[in-house]
Amino acid sequence: MDLLEYQGKQLFARHGLEVSRGRPAVTVEEAVEAAAEVGYPVVVKAQVLIGGRGKAGGVKLAADEGEVREHAGNILGMDIRGHVVHTLWIEHASDISSEYYASVLLDRSAKAPLVMFSVEGGIEIEQVAEESPDKLVRWHVDALEGLSHSEALQIANKGRADQDVQEGVAKALQALYRVFVEEEATLAEINPLIVTPEREVRALDAKVTLDDNALFRHPDNQDLSDTQNQDPIERRARQEGLQYVKLDGDVGILGNGAGLVMSTLDVVAQAGGSPANFLDAGGGADADKIRQAVELILSNSAVRAVLFNIFGGITRCDEVAKGLIAAFSEIKPTLPFVVRLDGTNAEEGRELLREAALAGVHPARTMDEAAEMVVALAAGSNGASVAG
């Protein structure tokens, strides 16, 4: 999970890394209030999950309220290489003497955390690595030992940080390393790490990627996901514990088990159709979960027909049938559904569907047959009225 700059800075502050004071804002009025609170001059910064915001016009200095209004108005709604700005971060502007670079990431090939430091900050680190590799210090850390103060000082020294701030840089590197380890990040990057005229060392930007597989150990961090920028249907799915990914087609898909759902996408594509989503109901989905899944699939207005492909294992096909029947009585969908039930309690499930005689539900025996049927129904105009 990638964090927005200001969320990354919250984690930085938690571990003793210096950051400027700031406030988030989602409207121009909020930006003006935030600026008054943090004190002028301020920087108005687009919060999107992509770098190079400065060059794109998404980072602007503002000396007074008029300038905050102007910049906030311009930046909100701005599209930065496909990322629309919904949130701003208003922070007290810093005076900058030098821009350094620091990061900690997981070097998988070395099976160790890697600390990188350079006095050539503020530009893409790939460019530094290419043009002046001698100016980029790469330092592997023994994960069991951690990053000691003397090691951090050696990194600052090797990278030729100004003599008088090497102590400050070392402290920043150690704090960044703590962020990396204690928050279970796979990347923690500061670009630029600035030196102020007062010779303070401070993180002016933050790029943090948290390890999704470790998030359950960090309940505080689970709320940091960028819900504003998520697809609203995907956001709802996450809340309901369903694995849903929106795709661009018109055939709604539900299956149980990621492997089965992926094969279902493949057979639908092979039959000439175009899937509208990936949706894994997971193992042991009960009737209620299935009803929620149907609601999710149908909330995508591009969907013209739906394919249920269930291979019962822990999931019982009769539960799936009950969920589908419940969904039909509540939502009364007018789209055709193709249902293939196989495995645990498949016969009971099919029997339930036969008894319910839901309009528009078409049973299929095999996956290939199901795919052909659903693609034809999605293409046909009167598919919705055909009774199963």
| Residues whose CB falls within 8 Å of the CB of residue 5, separated by 6 or more in sequence, listed in order | 45, 47, 89, 205, 206, 207
> Does 43 sit near ligand GDP (CB under 6 A)?
yes
94 binds ligand GDP (CB under 6 A): yes
Q: How far apart are the first and last CA of the chain?
A: 43
Asked about 101 being catalytic, the answer comes back as yes
Q: Does 205 bind ligand GDP (CB under 6 A)?
A: yes
Footprint of ligand GDP on 7-26 (CB under 6 A):
none
Contacting residues toward Mn ion, per CB under 5 A? 191, 205
Per CB under 6 A, the segment of 46-54, 125-133, 258-266, 321-329 that binds ligand GDP is 46-54
Question: Mask 135-174, x = binds ligand GDP (CB under 6 A)?
Answer: ----------------------------------------
State yes or no: residue 52 binds ligand GDP (CB under 6 A): yes
Distances (CA, A) of 201 to 51, 68, 189: 21, 26, 15
Q: Please give the Cα distance from 175 to 17 (Å, whole number).
A: 6
Q: State the nearest-atom distance from the C-beta of 72 to ligand GDP, in Å.
A: 15
- Of 6, 100, 101, 244, the active-site residue reads 101
Asked whether 190 and 101 are in contact (CB, 8 A), the reply is yes
Query: Locate tokens 């009769």: which residue?
Result: 318
Window 267-306: residues binding ligand GDP (CB under 6 A): none
Out of 3, 11, 19, 59, which residue is the one contacting ligand GDP (CB under 6 A)? 59
- Rule CB under 6 A: say whether 192 interacts with ligand GDP: yes
Does 97 bind ligand GDP (CB under 6 A)? Our answer is no
For helices 28-38 and 65-75, angle between their N-to-C axes, nearest 10 degrees: 140
Q: How far apart are CA 167 and CA 172, in angstroms?
A: 9
Residue (117 or 328) nearer to Mn ion, CB: 117
C-alpha 87/C-alpha 77 separation (Å) is 9
Residue 111 phi/psi, 5-degree rounding, is 55, 40
In a 10 Å sphere around its CB, with 0-12 CB exposed, 13-18 middle and 19+ buried, how is residue 78 labelled? Answer: middle
Nearer to ligand GDP, 192 or 249 (CB): 192
Which positions are annotated as active-site residues? Answer: 101, 189
Q: Which residues contact ligand GDP by CB under 6 A?
A: 43, 51-54, 59, 93-94, 96, 99, 122, 191-192, 204-205
